[in-house]
Structure 1
Amino acid sequence: MNALTGTGTLVRFMLRRDRLRLSVWVLALVGMVAASVPALDDMFTTDAERQSRAALMETPTGIVFGGPGYGLEDYQLGPMLVNELTMTVLIALAVLNVLHVVRHTRAEEENGRAELLRAAPVGPGAQPAAALATAALVDLLIGVSTSVSLIFFGLPTADSLAYGVGLGLAGIVFAAITAVCTQIFEHGRTAAGTAFLVVGVLFMARVVGDIARTGGNALSWLSPFAWVQQARPFDALEWWPLALYPVAAVVLFVLAHVLAGRRDLGAGLIAARPGPSGAGPLLRGILALHLRQQRGMVFAWSAGVFVLTFAFGSLAPEVESMVETNPDLAAFLGDDTEDLVGGFLGTIGLYALMGTGALSALSVLRARSEESAGRAELVLATAVGRVRWLGSALIVAVLATVLTTALGGLGLGLGTAVTLEDGAWIGRMTGATLAGLPAALVFGALVALLFGTAPRLVPLVWVWLGYSVFMTMLGALLGVPEAVMDASAFEILPAPPGEEAEAVPFLLYLAVVLLAGAAGLAGFGRRDLATD
């Protein structure tokens, strides 16, 4: 038996186990791209309309979520598709691959199933290899299906193939990054959080490089987010940048395989420190237990959000210089750079809220995992009531969400204040980000509601979060009716500083969050444990 014995069997098992989950991902991503092609074609029918859209892609916000902007001189359907959708698809692929690899590697070791598998004729490297193989199959299926859909709509064949293959290869790199993280850390949540942090840093490297120089500089080329667009599909196609993906994937896979041989099953390369012999004052009580269980995840998310928003805030001078040095852009957007900077920062603040919304849901889901693992039953067998146990978990989720949201706004304001030498931005952006706090808290409240009343429906929270992110990012671009867009959690409140905050909608939204949390507590107090 060698290290990869049993890989084929595990691949088939993983595909069968996740057939519904992966099918939804494939249909959603391919369907989004396929639906965007006719939508973009119908929305921008004249050269003047397309060039007006191209001017928006030259703004800082356009570069952040559009890339280096190839093909803007003659903005036809192909370049429009690449600039408008690539970053959204790549971010979704990163989420898919991080969650998939952690689910089938580190999470399996945590719950003990990996040890049962290793008792069979399964090599030590079979499980991570199978996780990467299944992720690669899904990524390539998404890429090839995307290419076929673009060819179907009449776009050039070679460019369509390059674009789809580039997307699929990028997903494989994200999976390989996660495989390395799962070898380093003992817990699945920490490994996933670290992988997302690495992905965020790589995204930020691409942003800084693309803003610093037209077409990107050397920093941009360090990021896998850049390579598919640097191949310049539908503009001046070059295949060689796509070769960077398999090179990076192979190097990362070999690194993960080597690291896997240097640790024990169930352990990480960074060993967990032994706890104190006696519990201190801060470790006593059920609230302290929830805080301790989630401290790593909360620290990673809050630090990551702060670092990324600070980096985006530090780009404020680039926003000003773009308008000052580009007369056409100034004529299109106006020369009020303060409003332009505020709009750019408001957009970044909105994306920070999307991240804190995911944190809010994950924090409450920790209670669900404690129940599923049987640990909640042991705690509740002591002098701890159900409402107290779940209520403490909700308090931790609220504190984590508020802290991360505030740090996101602080990072934006501090980065802007340092680079523009105007301290007023600190308070302005912190307040603006906190004005959207209910939009982040609502996902944790919905998890609590479903956890207490219908636990099997908890995955619907992720459906709504994905829907909200998609509508907020692409709804207006695709011409989605306003009534449909308003179902997004992030469209309910005004988005300062570009829009004026309103107290009444904020308080009503917050009241809905509180009612959902209270209903979840009441439901959990009545249902049986470990039931759906």
Structure 2
Amino acid sequence: MTALAPAVPRAGGGSRPLAGTGTLLRLALRRDRVLLPVWVLVLGTVVVSGAGSIDALYGTRAQRAEIAVSMTANSSLRSLYGPVFGDSTGALVAWRFGVFAAVLAAVMSLVVVVRHTREEEETGRQELLSAAMVGRRAPLTAALLAALTGNAALALAVTAGLAGRGAGSALALGLAVGLTGMVFATTAAIAAQLTESARLAKGLTAAVLGAAFVLRAAGDAGRDDGGSPLTWLSPVGWAENVRAFAGDRWWVLLLPAAAVLVQGLAAYELTGRRDVGMSFLPARPGPAEGRLATAGGLAWRLQRGSLTGWTLGFLVAGLVFGGMVEGAADLVGDNERAREVFERMGGAQALTDAFLGALLGLFGMIASLYAVGSVLRLHGEETSQRAEPVLANAVGRLRWAAGHLVIAFAGSALLLLAAGLGMYLSYGQDPGTVLGAAAVQLPAVWFLGALAVLLHGAAPRAAVAAWGVAGLSVAISWVGPALDLPQAVLDLSPFGHLPKLPGADMAWQPVLVLLAGTALLVAAGLAGLRRRDLVTA
């Protein structure tokens, strides 16, 4: 449904469009008192700790210059990280972590903005707040200020952590990351005005973010100086072209600042022209007669778009990564420290096999995020009160949950199959070897998904903690080997117990233990779901 008529002043806000902004901001920050600090702390720590790992890997200027040349010469690596603009430790940190920090800041921002705008309207809470002294534009302002708080804290963490490498350059990198986050915060603000659901608003903003990353990747794959027109069309490319620790192009920061201003003004204009709960893009009406005969069919209808997008992404990423495997030995060269890192991640076998195992382990970590998100779709359906009408019919709770769980667990297997297939097509090794190494990641992926089932079933108000556990597991497995963390710490992640295929011997005991743990967690979660009351908010 659309609402394009001239706006009518609300009874609560009157002619003060920003009335109540401070109160709403405090409410938003209180609700995000765990989400924002954890996100900032983890992301900031990853970026700052990268300097130490790079110093350990490439201790001399000659080694750093050599790796900068080899990385920039590889078009596949340029498409992932961008070109290397300098041979200092700071420049290598900006190259290795800058793009991904900017992308993750954008993800944090879109989640925060949509949560405090469209999601509040979708649940009906915004309508209750608007009946009080709350201005028309106050909710949007509070959401953007909450996102600004998170991005400013992240920029400050990056600046403070890398100031010893050059305070000005550290500030340039921090601002590049934070401003990229704010660009997509304002993009999410526009999407929240256009769509009727939080899920669509997040999906639309994520699609814009994905397109920005692809534009930058395509541009950097074609040129090694960051000067491709495609790179300059992408906000992620702007962050790269700030060139922190390699000349510090301060003027580039004017581009994301201008984008934030223009998009913010557009969002404010749109929010003033619609009523609470309405949108500018009408929802497509469904068929006159329902076609979904089962709870599983409904779950598939709700999650098929997400699964399709993830699968295509894994296939394309597999094709790109597979083209890098053959040159793994050339990338590492004679650097024993780099060889040790790959062996800790992928196994102490031939370097090519270790590199392949490390890449497939990365795919497994990302697939675990899909599994957790797919499981927690149950929580979203329940808290938005969409599950109650379904369960009011002849549909039991276990049958309703089973549809989503099948998609979560089978879907994560499909993602790893797509990644393995892509790597096989571009690398060309025996398909059984590559697909087997991809499949061995499943027990750890399913274990984290099963933990989400347990939290949703037994402690639904703590269900979002599943994201924290999954994020911590990914951080330990991804950054731990480079930081030379003790094996006891690496074992805190389920991925630390998997056999390092290909090349290593298959160890069935940890696989079976993880699978047994998965079954127990799922059973306990479903038992809790069956006994407890539904969550309504």
Query: TM-score of the superposition, structure 2-length normalised?
Result: 0.81
Deviation sequence 1:114-162 (CA, Å, 0-9, x none): 22223234343332232112211321232134223322xx322221221
Residue 272 of structure 1 pairs with residue 287 of structure 2: no
2:177 pairs, out of 146, 157, 167, with 167
The separation in 1 between residues aligned to 2:385 and 2:434, in whole angstroms, is 43
Residue 132 of structure 1 pairs with residue 141 of structure 2: no
* Structure 2 contact 311–414 (Cα < 8 Å) conserved: no
Alignment partner of 1:266: what SS?
Answer: coil
Percent identical among aligned pairs is 37
The separation in 2 between residues aligned to 1:62 and 1:17, in whole angstroms, is 39
Do the aligned partners of residues 172 and 448 (structure 1) sit closer, same or farther apart at CA in structure 2, a change above 3 Å counting?
A: same
The separation in 2 between residues aligned to 1:426 and 1:531, in whole angstroms, is 48
Give the equivalent residue in structure 1 for 2:223.
213
Deviation sequence 1:68-125 (CA, Å, 0-9, x none): 11113xxx33223223332342233122112111111111111001222232343433
1:306 pairs, out of 308, 312, 327, with 312
Corresponding residue pairs, total: 509
The separation in 2 between residues aligned to 1:481 and 1:53, in whole angstroms, is 27
The AA in structure 2 aligned to 1:402 is: A
The separation in 2 between residues aligned to 1:227 and 1:395, in whole angstroms, is 40
Q: How does 1:322-361 map to 2 (within 5 A)?
A: 349-361=360-372
* Structure 1 contact 185–268 (Cα < 8 Å) conserved: yes
Residue 194 of structure 1 pairs with residue 204 of structure 2: yes
Deviation sequence 1:244-282 (CA, Å, 0-9, x none): 1112222332343444456553244332222233333xx
* Structure 1 contact 147–160 (Cα < 8 Å) conserved: yes
Give the equivalent residue in structure 1 for 2:90.
78
The separation in 1 between residues aligned to 2:256 and 2:119, in whole angstroms, is 26
Q: How does 1:105-124 map to 2 (within 5 A)?
A: 105-124=117-136
Residue 479 of structure 1 pairs with residue 484 of structure 2: yes
Give the equivalent residue in structure 1 for 2:165.
155
Structure 2 stretches lacking a partner, 5+ long? 1-14, 340-349
The AA in structure 1 aligned to 2:154 is: I
Give the equivalent residue in structure 2 for 1:287.
296
* Structure 1 contact 200–308 (Cα < 8 Å) conserved: no
Q: Following TM superposition, by how much is the alpha carbon of 1:41 offset from its aligned partner in structure 2, in angstroms?
A: 4.2
The separation in 2 between residues aligned to 1:474 and 1:445, in whole angstroms, is 24
* Structure 2 contact 385–536 (Cα < 8 Å) conserved: no
Give the equivalent residue in structure 2 for 1:245.
256
The separation in 1 between residues aligned to 2:322 and 2:526, in whole angstroms, is 44
Deviation sequence 1:314-366 (CA, Å, 0-9, x none): 5866887x899xx89878899xxxx9998777665544433432222122212
* Structure 1 contact 305–352 (Cα < 8 Å) conserved: no
Deviation sequence 1:476-503 (CA, Å, 0-9, x none): 2222223322323334334655767666
Residue 19 of structure 1 pairs with residue 36 of structure 2: no
Residue 442 of structure 1 pairs with residue 447 of structure 2: yes
* Structure 1 contact 450–458 (Cα < 8 Å) conserved: yes
The separation in 1 between residues aligned to 2:137 and 2:160, in whole angstroms, is 34
Do the aligned partners of residues 39 and 407 (structure 1) sit closer, same or farther apart at CA in structure 2, a change above 3 Å counting?
A: closer
Deviates further, 392-401 or 44-53: 44-53
Deviates further, 246-255 or 426-435: 426-435
The AA in structure 1 aligned to 2:82 is: G
Give the equivalent residue in structure 1 for 2:345.
none
Give the equivalent residue in structure 2 for 1:372.
383
Alignment partner of 1:90: what SS?
Answer: helix
Residue 517 of structure 1 pairs with residue 504 of structure 2: no
Query: TM-score of the superposition, structure 1-length normalised?
Result: 0.82
Give the equivalent residue in structure 1 for 2:10.
none
Q: How does 1:449-488 map to 2 (within 5 A)?
A: 449-488=454-493
The separation in 2 between residues aligned to 1:480 and 1:249, in whole angstroms, is 39
Q: Following TM superposition, by how much is the alpha carbon of 1:445 offset from its aligned partner in structure 2, in angstroms?
A: 0.9
Do the aligned partners of residues 103 and 306 (structure 1) sit closer, same or farther apart at CA in structure 2, a change above 3 Å counting?
A: same
Give the equivalent residue in structure 1 for 2:5.
none
The AA in structure 1 aligned to 2:43 is: L
* Structure 1 contact 452–523 (Cα < 8 Å) conserved: yes
1:67 pairs, out of 82, 100, 103, with 82
The separation in 1 between residues aligned to 2:310 and 2:233, in whole angstroms, is 19
Give the equivalent residue in structure 2 for 1:94.
106
By relative contact order (CA 8 Å, sep 6+), the higher-ranking structure is 2
Give the equivalent residue in structure 2 for 1:229.
240
The separation in 1 between residues aligned to 2:487 and 2:352, in whole angstroms, is 26
Q: Report the aligned-residue RMSD.
A: 3.7
Alignment partner of 1:490: what SS?
Answer: helix
Deviates further, 34-43 or 174-183: 34-43
Do the aligned partners of residues 32 and 412 (structure 1) sit closer, same or farther apart at CA in structure 2, a change above 3 Å counting?
A: closer
Residue 530 of structure 1 pairs with residue 528 of structure 2: no
The separation in 2 between residues aligned to 1:177 and 1:44, in whole angstroms, is 39
The separation in 2 between residues aligned to 1:50 and 1:479, in whole angstroms, is 20
* Structure 2 contact 112–143 (Cα < 8 Å) conserved: yes
* Structure 1 contact 204–308 (Cα < 8 Å) conserved: no
Q: Following TM superposition, by how much is the alpha carbon of 1:470 offset from its aligned partner in structure 2, in angstroms?
A: 1.8
Deviates further, 379-388 or 229-238: 379-388
The separation in 2 between residues aligned to 1:197 and 1:341, in whole angstroms, is 34
* Structure 2 contact 321–423 (Cα < 8 Å) conserved: no
Q: Following TM superposition, by how much is the alpha carbon of 1:430 offset from its aligned partner in structure 2, in angstroms?
A: 5.2
The AA in structure 1 aligned to 2:285 is: P
Q: Following TM superposition, by how much is the alpha carbon of 1:172 offset from its aligned partner in structure 2, in angstroms?
A: 0.7
* Structure 2 contact 151–178 (Cα < 8 Å) conserved: yes
The separation in 1 between residues aligned to 2:536 and 2:116, in whole angstroms, is 24
Do the aligned partners of residues 49 and 212 (structure 1) sit closer, same or farther apart at CA in structure 2, a change above 3 Å counting?
A: same
Deviation sequence 1:22-79 (CA, Å, 0-9, x none): 233333333444444455446654446545654674456754554311113xxx3322
The AA in structure 1 aligned to 2:32 is: D
Deviates further, 37-46 or 481-490: 37-46
